[in-house]
A and B are shown apart, each in its own frame.
Chain A
């Protein structure tokens, strides 16, 4: 039966091991999250771009059936993602709501025109493409005006480009931080055993023999860390899928598998390399140097 001292020592060892695993797991979780954001970055930017609105304003005398016919034509065209017909009355109601007063009563008539709001496919949601589309649409004599906010579209594209650069920069920084943190966690764990390593070397163990259990422990820490990170990650994905389904759906199983794979691989590789370097340092040190490093 174990003494209470032994139980305490074992519990303390387990706690140290667990805290190392949790540190690794959290770092890998952050890294995985960033990986998922990067892999979804295009989807995210498409989502933003496809919310840019272009309105086709029809002339007052165009019949609803002509507009609906044109809408059907638009829906089948290569640059349209979705479209919505807005009648004069619906437009008036919307404006009334926005202004907070009944402008029809003041004017005595509804000056608004029927329109179709279209959402373009992401690759056409830039000013150059919209200009070409605008020209093409204006060839239709029923259309009075094509309305879109050039400055907003420019702004959206500019922001997406800047966010992409920041995201890539941030990913590189986070990768470096992750490597440094995991490396530090493992180095600390090996550092605490430097005198044990020294004793092993003094009784004639080879560097390889001393290194082996540390490397195995490092790899299992990396693996457990990665598995916990994947669990956290799965929870996060579940939350996102339920709360913001536009951002992600469960059909993206390939993307998730890719990210999970990367997380496990990074956990194993970083832990393995860190352990090798940390132990190598202490198996090579002379006894006196143990007090300085």
Chain B
């Protein structure tokens, strides 16, 4: 693991970082911290770099310049073989769910467990029941992803993200494909998770959510990211 000297209560720290995507500079001079247990929105119009920043955080895009640390990993120095272990400390929820479409809900979650070293069948079953109950899918474990609604598929993705009790949930527009009511349910689940002490960093452009679920907000605009006042935006 590439160690960093991040304060103990800080789980994400950007310092004068430059985020780029395929030789295009997306965000410059990115400097902010997220503390353990915080719920943080990241907002901005489509194409302002929200997803690129999140992808940088889970090492799907290389950090172009500056410094960034997440759960103790220095993204400037991280090695390819360390990336899976970083991702195990994160729970990632995607807009397009990224489920394994060739297997059932149970198997989607079990895959992550097996991939991350779970071996005991009883423990696997207990934990599976626990997370599926948490997201309200305990009766649908046998279903294939294509048999579920968008909201249910996103719940599976959240269950999968929760399975290893991650320090941070990174959610990239988790409500982007959902109707307002289902979006509310999903954000509610994310807030419940946050109440258990986990950090949630969620990219969205679903502005009505802010009034219902207010939280600290960062805004991407004109190649920069800065603290935003939710009251003004709403």
Contacts and interface: CB of A to CB of B under 8 A. Distances in A.
Pair from one complex: yes
Interface of A: 3, 5-6, 13, 196, 198-207, 209-210, 284, 286-288
Contacts of A3: 147
A205 B101 contact: no
Given A5-B146, A286-B60, 11 more contacts: A5-B147, A196-B100, A199-B99, A200-B111, A202-B98, A203-B112, A203-B115, A203-B160, A204-B164, A205-B111, A210-B115
Contacts of B112: 203-205
A288 B164 CA distance: 27
Contacts of A287: 55, 60
B58 interface: yes
A5 B144 CA distance: 10
Contacts of B60: 202, 286-287
B75 interface: no
B100 to A, nearest CB: 6
Given A6-B144, A205-B84, A286-B61, A200 B115 contact: yes
A202 B58 contact: yes
B207 interface: no
Nearest to B62: A286
Contacts of A209: 114-115
A204 B22 contact: no
B198 interface: no
Contact of B92 (A202, A206, A210): A202
A206 B84 contact: yes
B87 to A, nearest CB: 4
Interface string B140-165: 00001011000000000000100010
The 9 closest A-B pairs by CB, nearest first: A205-B115, A204-B87, A204-B88, A199-B98, A206-B84, A203-B112, A204-B84, A209-B115, A287-B60
Nearest to B101: A196
Contacts of B102: 13, 196
Interface in B51-106: 55, 58, 60-61, 80-81, 84-85, 87-88, 92, 94, 98-102
Contacts, number: 56
B53 to A, nearest CB: 14
B118 to A, nearest CB: 12
Contacts of B58: 202
A196 B60 CA distance: 15
18 contacts: A5-B147, A196-B100, A196-B101, A198-B98, A199-B100, A200-B111, A200-B115, A201-B84, A202-B58, A202-B94, A202-B98, A203-B92, A203-B112, A204-B85, A204-B115, A205-B115, A209-B114, A288-B21
A202 B87 contact: yes
Interface string B40-51: 000000000000
Contacts of A288: 21-22
A196 B80 CA distance: 19
A288 B22 CA distance: 9
A5 B145 CA distance: 12
A205 B81 CA distance: 11
Nearest to A206: B84
A201 to B, nearest CB: 7
A287 B52 CA distance: 11
Contacts of B164: 204
B144 A203 contact: no
Contacts of B116: 204-205
Contacts of B85: 204
Most B-side CB within 10 Å, residue of A6, A202, A206:
A202
A203 B61 contact: no
A12 B92 CA distance: 31
Contacts of B111: 200, 203, 205
B113 to A, nearest CB: 10
A284 B100 CA distance: 18
A196 B98 CA distance: 8
Contacts of B94: 202
B104 to A, nearest CB: 10
Nearest to B163: A203
A3 to B, nearest CB: 8
Interface in B101-147: 101-102, 111-112, 114-116, 144, 146-147
